[in-house]
Amino acid sequence: MRASQEKNMQAASQTNAQAKAQSEGPILEVKDLQVDFKADGHTVHAVRDSSFNVYPGQWVAIVGESGSGKSTSAMSVLGLLPGTGKVVGGSMKLHGRELVGLSASDYEQVRGSQIGLVPQDPMSNLNPVLRIGTQVKEALEANHMDVAREKRSQLAKQIASAETVTLKNSDDELFISAKDLPGLFAAAKSALEEIHAKNIDRTMEAFKAEWDVGSQTRWGVAKGLIKAGLDDEKAWSIAKQHVTGSDMNDRIAGLLSEAGLPDAATRARQYPHEFSGGMRQRALIAVGLASRPDLLIADEPTSALDVTVQKKILDHLHGLTDSLGTAVLFITHDLGLAAERAQHIVVMYKGRVVESGPSLEVLQHPQHPYTRRLVNAAPSLASQRIISAKEHGQDASKLMEHHTKGEGDLERSEHVITVEHLTKEFKLPRKKEMFKAVDDVSFSVKRGTTLAIVGESGSGKSTVANMVLHLLEPSSGRIYYEGKDLSGFNGQSLLDFRRHVQPVFQNPYGSLDPMYSIYRSIEEPLRIHGIGDRKSREQRVRELLDMVEMPESVMGRYPNELSGGQRQRIAIARAMALNPDVIICDEAVSALDVLVQDQVLRLLNDLQAERGLSYLFITHDLAVVRQIADEVVVMQHGRLVEHATTDEVFDHPKQQYTRDLLEAIPGGHLQLGLD
Amino acid sequence: MTDMTMNESLNGSMTESNAEVFFPDPLPGQERFVAPLDDTPLADVDSVNDEVPATSMWADAWKKLRRNPLFIISAVLAIFVILVALFPFLFTKQDPMACNLDNSLGAGTSGHPFGYDLQGCDVYSRVVYGTRTSVSIGILTTLLVTVFGGLIGAVAGFFGGWVDAILSRVTDIFFAIPMLLGAIVLLQMFRTSGSIWKIVFTLTLFGWVQMARITRSAVMEAKNLEFNTASTALGSSPVRNLFNHILPNSLAPIIVMATMSLGNYIVSEATLSFLGIGLPTSLVSWGGDISTAQSLLTTNPSVLFYPSAALAITVLAFIMMGDAVKDALDPKSKTV
């Protein structure tokens, strides 16, 4: 019921936006865009004949794998192509004004005030030596938004021809100032009491939430008062008397709180290192939207963040751009995320647009083989597919190939790894108390199955993995491998343990020695354990490469020549070299594009089916869990909050935290056409 | 799951639900578009590009070096200087020690292109034979500094903790002593010895600190890279990690440091010999010759000019080579 209501509402709001957009024409019109890069005397065609339109207030997503030209297209619009990149053909029109060939100083007028950017990496895009507020201020000053509206219009009248003074046509731009706020509340309250309005307290609570210093306008205040029951004249007189325009600090705080930072005035005085990744991204959103651009380019704004944070930030950005009427060009590699957020999707592959159209239509009827591939690979959609299939009584096990063992088998199979009351404490620098990274965690991995540990960054899941790998000493608690206590291992017994329990790490760029050829990398474990002679080792390396579906020709290559997914497959081959029983995957697919991620997950599933491997799978992404795990352990702040089979966790999550994680899976509400 | 089942399940159920799914009419320019498959043939997911030849980091660096004119010029010069140092008799038949006072300050003649010095010795042959002393002191010092400083730096960086604390403080103490000042004081004790080793050891004693510092930071950086954890988890011992993974990955800055400082050691030797506390006059060296010729600057500058030029060109060659090597091995320009 709820779903259909939502659908109707969505449809209604879409038709409204539709009519508005139609009358105004596209805000951004990109036609046959061509971008070339020059490297070592070669020309690389990064973007070829790419065309798309963005309408006012619309979210348009460009989807594709890394190297598909999606970011390059967006950066061309901003005139910020890196290095040797150059637009060599086509046209880009912003409000009908041609951007190709614009001079550097003209482009400066466009950037910031007309096109904003929320960059990909929140860690490196804020200046570490400047306060957050100062960086927002910079954005305002660079676009001449640092004076109150009156002053600006006066200026504009004085210098009639000055183009640098931009006057926005939006409503009243006088914001509430911090010193006006108490007076405003008092006036509102007494006015409401005068007319004997109902629920005054509740209305005042609502006003408290709405009237953000430096963000809420005089017009907004007046509208709110009218809605509360005051007549127009009274409402406007209160608004005019008490909303007299904010100063710079108020405005900065207002922008930050719009972006979803609580206690913004204090936050504005802090430095980037005091912010978490999600908070930094919010600050960057405030910077990007500071000058109220008509178009915001969001270049994978959340791919560096946890899924729950991703959802919160995108929800907030969505609400904010809706209320401001900002159009968003959203770059992502996840089709599920794109379809959930955007009305129009542009799929790019190898520099070309291979498919575009209304997002649901593209998602439900993908026609280009590449789009179909993306739809099949998206983990969010895959888990959605499993749910839908189950609801329709289809045999879900067909979709979950790894579930080869029946439930009965599960009960009987023995435990390969058992963890009991595991605790790890770290000493914090300059602090007396110990920090509990892992707090009393117990679980066990059954032979031939996959146990996933899920949690946000900082939940202690990787610390558990490192302790199980005997790379970290637990503070207390026991870990058993095949019933033997890990703490008793040393020398030969430790070497034996290493032979049977192998890791695959998160960062495919860091876990292979760049000085080692692929052959040497895969051969290393055989050498360490003194297995075979040169010839038999080479034979084994060939077998392993074949196992992970890599050509033998890569043996002489070095890690820097391979993509992230290929390196991860090499890391899996190395882990498989000693025929282990258990593989511990620490965020093994988190850094990969969806297609490659899907490929690696399939590989892991196949290897498990063939060899009866057991996996301990650490991830922050519940969508991936559905594809691979039999059992799930959910961790939060070092504690185990939920432990159940995958189906139970997905169908009947017991903890609110688990429900939040499930909610955060992008594309979770999409209808794939299975219902 | 296979593509087949996926497509079936998708297509099969989609037909039934078409009617109720709401599609707004697309806006102009946003109509459904599907590119013809011919334009963008689909490659395998994440396929390996076999066309590009395989390269290692060293091969890459070598390729960059070969294209760098700075490196080619400096390498040709350095090879020439080393050849002269190894086989001085190929370049002159004249004995540098055979001096005849009759020729004192004589101008250049055929067979003696650079003329004669105050003692009547052939300047050309002295420059040629002086090469061996200078270059061998430079190379030997660099080798010793690299081994000794590198070892201490590696141990400090790898073990950390109190080992690092002690070694770093020792390094700091030596760092506080200016190399030349220390060398002058120390060499006073061995004025009579005619061996080049006294200079090599002295320069090493005061020169290893920089190498130790650089190696320490390179090892500390490489130590924290994930592939070490991966190797440990494979069963590799810490010491094996140090020699198989960490040191090879810290080599680049060490090599750069070594090539760049080689020139400095040659200059230091010349300075010490010039000050008269380096090599005895019985050994031909550029520094010694510059020292004896200094009084002739106004009257016979050519006697001073040739050994100084030889010194300058040699040092320049090695420093330029170091610069080129640095460019090639610079981690920032690496494409990772």
pLDDT tens profile A590-645 = 777 788 888 888 888 888 888 888 999 998 888 888 888 889 999 988 889 899 88
Q: Is B86 on the interface with A (CB under 8 A)?
A: no
Contact A674 B45 (CB under 8 A): no
Among chain A residues, the shortest Cα distance to B249 is held by A515
Q: Specify whether A245 is located in the same domain as A184.
A: yes
Contact B42 A373 (CB under 8 A): yes
Q: Give A389's strand partners.
A: none
Min Cα–Cα distance to chain A from B19, Å: 10
Helix (H, G, I), strand (E, B) or coil at B188: helix
Q: Specify whether A105 is located in the same domain as A147.
A: no
Contact B48 A53 (CB under 8 A): no
In a domain, A82, yes or no: yes
Q: Is B44 on the interface with A (CB under 8 A)?
A: no
Q: Specify whether A328 is located in the same domain as A474.
A: no
Out of A196, A216, A251, pick the residue that ends a domain: A251
Whole-angstrom Cα distance, residue B64 to residue B60?
6
| Residue A492, phi then psi, degrees to nearest 5 | -65, -40
User: In 3-state terms, chain B is what percent helix, strand and coil (to 5)?
Assistant: 70, 0, 30
Q: What is the CATH number of the domain that holds A298?
A: 3.40.50.300
Residue B317 one-letter amino acid: A
Q: Specify whether A294 is located in the same domain as A345.
A: yes
Q: Specify whether A98 is located in the same domain as A167.
A: no
Q: Specify whether A494 is located in the same domain as A600.
A: yes
Q: Specify whether A165 is located in the same domain as A106.
A: no
CA nearest A422: which of A374, A480, A380, A371?
A480
Pairing of strands A344-349, A434-446: unpaired
In a domain, A527, yes or no: no
Query: What six digits make up the tokens of A61?
Result: 């997503």
Say which of B23, B240, B334 has its CB closest to residue A358: B23
Contact A392 B13 (CB under 8 A): yes
Torsion of CA A630, A636, A642, A643, to 10 degrees: 40
Q: Specify whether A428 is located in the same domain as A501.
A: yes
Query: Measured between alpha carbons, how far apart are the two ends of chain A, in Å?
Result: 13
Number of CB atoms found within 10 A of residue A19's CB: 10
Contact A53 B235 (CB under 8 A): no
Contact A353 B33 (CB under 8 A): yes
Contact B245 A513 (CB under 8 A): yes
Give the residue numbers spanning the domain of A468: 407-516+580-663
What are A353-381's pLDDT values in tens digits?
999 998 888 888 888 888 888 887 776 66
Whole-angstrom Cα distance, residue A496 to residue B121?
74
SS (H, E, C) A336-359: HHHHHHCCEEEEEECCEEEEEEEH
Contact A514 B57 (CB under 8 A): yes
The pLDDT of residue A346 is 92
Report ipTM (2 d.p.). 0.71
Pairing of strands A86-94, A97-98: antiparallel
The CA-atom distances, in angstroms, between B182 and each of A365, A645, B185, B261 are 80, 72, 5, 18
Whole-angstrom Cα distance, residue B333 to residue B248?
18
The pLDDT of residue A380 is 64
**The pLDDT of residue A286 is above 60:** yes
Whole-angstrom Cα distance, residue B9 to residue A675?
11
In a domain, A154, yes or no: yes
Query: Measured between alpha carbons, how far apart are the two ends of chain B, in Å?
Result: 33
Contact A354 B34 (CB under 8 A): yes
CA nearest A350: which of B311, B171, B37, B131?
B37
Q: Specify whether A492 is located in the same domain as A598.
A: yes
CA nearest A650: which of A662, A640, A635?
A662
Q: Specify whether A167 is located in the same domain as A118.
A: no
Which H or E run contains A443?
A: strand A434-446
What are A310-362's pLDDT values in tens digits?
888 888 888 888 888 889 999 988 888 888 889 899 999 888 899 999 888 88
In a domain, A378, yes or no: no
Pairing of strands A28-39, A295-299: unpaired
Q: Specify whether A325 is located in the same domain as A419.
A: no
Contact B227 A495 (CB under 8 A): no
Q: How many residue pairs from chains A and B have C-beta atoms closer than 8 A? A: 200
Residues in chain A: 675
The CA-atom distances, in angstroms, between A170 and each of A167, A214, A326, A564 are 9, 16, 12, 46
Q: Is B234 on the interface with A (CB under 8 A)?
A: yes
Domain boundaries, chain B: 74-103+115-331
Among chain B residues, the shortest Cα distance to A7 is held by B22
Q: Is B248 on the interface with A (CB under 8 A)?
A: yes
Residue A611 one-letter amino acid: R
In the stretch 297-336 of chain B, residues with CB closer than 8 A to chain A read 334-336
| Residue B171, phi then psi, degrees to nearest 5 | -60, -45
Out of A322, A342, A359, pick the residue that ends a domain: A359
Which stretches in chain B have pLDDT values below 50?
Answer: 1-22, 331, 333-336
Min Cα–Cα distance to chain A from B172, Å: 26
Interface with A, mutate which of B27, B67, B237, B247 (most A CBs under 10 A) = B27
Residue A398, Cβ density class (10 Å: 0-12 exposed, 13-18 middle, ≥19 buried): middle
Pairing of strands A476-481, A484-485: antiparallel
Among chain B residues, the shortest Cα distance to A368 is held by B34
In a domain, A552, yes or no: no
Min Cα–Cα distance to chain A from B24, Å: 7
Question: Residue A566: which residues within 8 A CB-CB, separation 6 or more?
Answer: A550, A554, B46, B48
In a domain, A420, yes or no: yes
CA nearest B198: which of B181, B186, B185, B212?
B186
Out of A332, A359, A386, pick the residue that ends a domain: A359
Among chain A residues, the shortest Cα distance to B22 is held by A11
**The pLDDT of residue A60 is above 90:** yes
Q: Is B161 on the interface with A (CB under 8 A)?
A: no
Q: Regarding the domain delimited by B74-103+115-331, which CATH topology (the fold level of the hierarchy) does it fall under?
A: MetI-like fold (1.10.3720)
Contact B48 A556 (CB under 8 A): no
Number of CB atoms found within 10 A of residue A380's CB: 26
In chain B, what residues touch A30 (CB-CB under 8 Å)?
none
Residue A346 one-letter amino acid: V
What are A210-261's pLDDT values in tens digits?
888 888 878 788 888 888 888 888 888 888 888 877 778 888 888 888 888 8
Q: Specify whether A322 is located in the same domain as A201.
A: no
Residue A577, Cβ density class (10 Å: 0-12 exposed, 13-18 middle, ≥19 buried): buried
Over the range A331-370, which residues count as b (16 or more CB within 10 Å of their CB) and which as e?
Answer: bbbbbbbbbbbbbbbbbbbbbbbbbbbbbbbbbbbbbbbb
Contact B35 A401 (CB under 8 A): no
Residue A183 one-letter amino acid: G
The CA-atom distances, in angstroms, between A554 and each of A255, A526, A596 are 51, 18, 18
Contact A499 B25 (CB under 8 A): no
In a domain, A565, yes or no: no
Question: Residue A537: which residues within 8 A CB-CB, separation 6 or more?
Answer: A523, A526, A527, A531
DSSP state letters, A47-115: EEEEEEEE-TT-EEEEE--TTSSHHHHHHHHHT---TT-EEEEEEEEETTEE-TT--HHHHHHHBTTTE
Question: Residue A595: which residues within 8 A CB-CB, separation 6 or more?
Answer: A65, A373, A374, A377, B45, B46
The pLDDT of residue B149 is 92
Say which of A51, A369, A400 has its CB closest to residue B37: A369
Mean pLDDT of A459-474: 88
**The pLDDT of residue A147 is above 60:** no
What are A92-109's pLDDT values in tens digits?
988 888 888 888 888 888
pLDDT tier, A409 (very low <50, low <70, confident <90, very high otherwise):
very low
The pLDDT of residue A406 is 43
Pairing of strands A295-299, A115-118: parallel
A580 Ramachandran zone, left/alpha/beta (phi>0; psi -120 to 50): beta
Min Cα–Cα distance to chain A from B215, Å: 17
What are A507-543's pLDDT values in tens digits?
777 888 888 888 989 999 998 888 888 889 999 999 8
Say which of B21, B30, B34 has its CB closest to residue A53: B30
Contact between A302 and A309 (Cβ < 8 Å)? yes
Mean pLDDT of A394-406: 46
Whole-angstrom Cα distance, residue A332 to residue A312?
17
Number of domains in chain A: 3
Q: Is B229 on the interface with A (CB under 8 A)?
A: yes
Whole-angstrom Cα distance, residue A471 to residue A456?
21
The CA-atom distances, in angstroms, between A430 and each of A423, A427, B257 are 22, 9, 37
Helix (H, G, I), strand (E, B) or coil at B110: coil
Query: What six digits make up the tokens of A93?
Result: 């029109």
